[in-house]
A and B are shown apart, each in its own frame.
Chain A
Amino acid sequence: MADNILEVNNLKKHFPINGGIFKRQVNSVKAVDGLNFNVKRGETLGLVGESGCGKSTTGKVLLRLLDATEGEVKFEGRDIHKLDKKDLRSLRKEMQMIFQDPYASLNPRMTVAEIVGEPLDIHNLAKGKEKEERVRELLDMVGLSSKFAKRYPHEFSGGQRQRIGIARALAVDPEVIVCDEPVSALDVSIQAQVINLMEDLQDELGLTYIFIAHDLSVVRHISDRVAVMYLGKIVELADKDDLYDTPKHPYTKALLSAIPVPDPQRQREKIILEGDVPSPINPPSGCTFHTRCPYAEDICKQEEPVFEEKGEDHLAACHFTDKLE
């Protein structure tokens, strides 16, 4: 399709484990293990999963903050993992990131103006008066008063710091922003403010978001499509309403049923998954979810299910999708 801004093919990221007296590679952590998906221009793609499923690593590999072990990430047709340093730097203008921890992702020794202005220096976008003007404009865009420009990060609350992080990402006028748990460290009342801000900015600037989070309610609210990850693989990908209303993978179903709903009168059937997520060093054979799946049969242990269309634009990897209904 022409309107795909990102195309991801068979993307893998394995972290080597070295051991023995010669420190040879003895095994690897398969953090991301074969992802295929596209991101459409202007949409928000939600990426959900439990801790250790590889969603943050995916975000980093998409931006080439980490090199991929295998596979490609194409931004407007160009594989960013094949670019040389110079081209990569100019590509960074197009793809930016917002981080989870607003306390750790801002340099405590730089003022807000310096933090937000730094990308402008690096990419030679603005200098002097023009830069000052642009910084003011950016702070204004994220709802911070420009009189804060001379202050340091410690003087701000979590929500305000996250706004600074957003302003920094926007400084270079990017196309795609990877947001790694941007609101999970914030208080509930502040979370909603930041989500609304991100939605407004998307409308205004035509941004494409990849929104990584573990909070499924937030992801449903902000995303157009949602991908569910388990042990380094996408197990289901669909339009958000399809995915939440008619999940086609037992993991998605269990995940959704596990969320506590703020309505004490609602009675729901809960699927309590047993055990923990297995280690990504030695993932289970066949379907990696079979160790916790209530529907698993012999075939699930032997054969890995194909990630295929189970409904219109609704992809899932499961042998027994039919049994779910």
Chain B
Amino acid sequence: MSSTLLEVKDLQTYFFTDRGTVKAVDGVSFDVEKGETLGIVGESGSGKSVTAASIMQLVPSPPGDIVGGEINFKDENLLDLKMKRIRKIRGNEISMIFQEPMTSLNPVYTIGEQISEVLRLHQGLNKDEALEKSIDMLEKVGIPSPEERVHEHPHQLSGGMRQRVMIAMALACNPELLIADEPTTALDVTIQAQILELMDELRDEFNTSIILITHNLGVIAEVADKVAVMYGGRIVEQTDTVTLYKDPEHPYTAGLIKSIPKIEGSEGKLKPIKGTVPDPLNFPNGCKFANRCNYAEEKCWAEEPDLEEVKPDHYVRCWRWKELDLKNESEVK
């Protein structure tokens, strides 16, 4: 497709700490088409949230800094723009939903004031118009009696309601790209289902592109069109959602899928990935996953593989993808 909305190219975001340089995001590239949902999965420390923060240019600096790459949004490289222009884009054309609805709303302002702020700033509405639009938005995200709720403060709402308010705020200016960083992690499953359905509906209605960041493979399976799996600041596998779950080619992806218990009941023991994610300063020199991989060879320790296109639109960063039969856990195909 030619309608690429966002193109991230070789993004590098490093954190300079007293102990050394942490390469939180190290050469990440992906595209997001119009109306498409890209899922980014990974465990803590994989760099998925820093990727999102880099697009929004919300990386705390110091210690963090975007040291290389391009973030092309429509025709502009966001990294070349002045802060003034970024502020115009942020919250207007690209907006973000955060994980903690409790801490990302301002406790001293009413919900209406917080949604209105965005509208008045970006769309130049006056106070009354903005309030009216805020009520509209609250209604759209399914908040009952929005005329009354709009005058309430965040503490008067439940977690699910607050997350809806966050979404209403993020969508108020009808952004072209919505970045959702673990939007449902703090919520109960029944509320999570409501929020995911809401995001899906809104995408259908406004043709918004979404980047959904989560550690929950179930959530990704449900809403994403394509998925990037991150480990140690790098994308290790990227393809469409169906292929990823059916035919993972990277041992890490396969391991993740196998380590979650199935709701239909599972046979016998779970198969965890061995070991833990190393300290960010102590990743192996070769393949970042080598120390936890059941199939690591000498080469894997010595040299890092490139992200290789193994089938059309299916990218894998593994030396041994050709030989391994991950489905049957065997070293020969």
Contact = CB atoms under 8 A, between A and B. Distances in A.
B259 interface: yes
B303 interface: no
Q: Is the interface of B mostly helix, strand, loop or mixed?
A: helix
A263 B245 contact: yes
B272 A260 contact: no
Interface string B256-270: 110111111110011
Interface in A216-232: 216-218, 220-222
Contact of A220 (B158, B189, B246, B261): B261
A149 interface: no
Given A196-B270, A262-B221, A190 B190 contact: no
A260 B192 contact: yes
Nearest to A156: B276
Given A188-B43, A276-B191, A241 B265 contact: yes
Contacts of B274: 193
Interface string B216-247: 11111110000000000000000001100110
A308 to B, nearest CB: 25
Interface string B177-220: 00000000000111111101100000000000000000111111
B263 A193 contact: no
Contact of A264 (B190, B222, B263, B264): B222
Interface size class of A (residues with CB under 8 A): 35 or more
B263 A220 contact: yes
Nearest to B243: A264
Contact of B261 (A50, A217, A256): A217
Interface string A110-151: 000000000000000000000000000000000000000000
A263 B190 contact: no
A187 B158 contact: no
Nearest to A258: B193
Interface in A228-256: 240-241, 244, 254-256
A221 B266 contact: yes
A191 B261 CA distance: 10
A187 B189 contact: no
B35 interface: no
B255 interface: yes
A164 to B, nearest CB: 14
B161 interface: yes
B203 to A, nearest CB: 16
A80 B310 CA distance: 62
Interface string A49-82: 0110000000000000000000000000000000
B241 A191 contact: no
B261 A221 contact: yes
A132 B53 CA distance: 47
Contacts of B44: 187
A190 B259 CA distance: 9
Nearest to A219: B261
Contacts of A255: 189-190
A17 to B, nearest CB: 17
A195 B270 contact: yes
Nearest to B220: A262
A270 B193 contact: yes
The 4 closest A-B pairs by CB, nearest first: A260-B218, A192-B272, A221-B261, A192-B259
Interface of B: 43-44, 144, 158-161, 188-194, 196-197, 215-222, 241-242, 245-246, 255-257, 259-266, 269-274, 276-277, 292
26 contacts: A51-B188, A187-B277, A188-B217, A189-B43, A189-B256, A191-B272, A192-B272, A195-B270, A199-B269, A217-B261, A221-B266, A241-B265, A255-B189, A258-B189, A260-B193, A260-B218, A260-B219, A261-B263, A262-B245, A262-B260, A264-B221, A264-B241, A264-B245, A265-B242, A274-B194, A276-B191
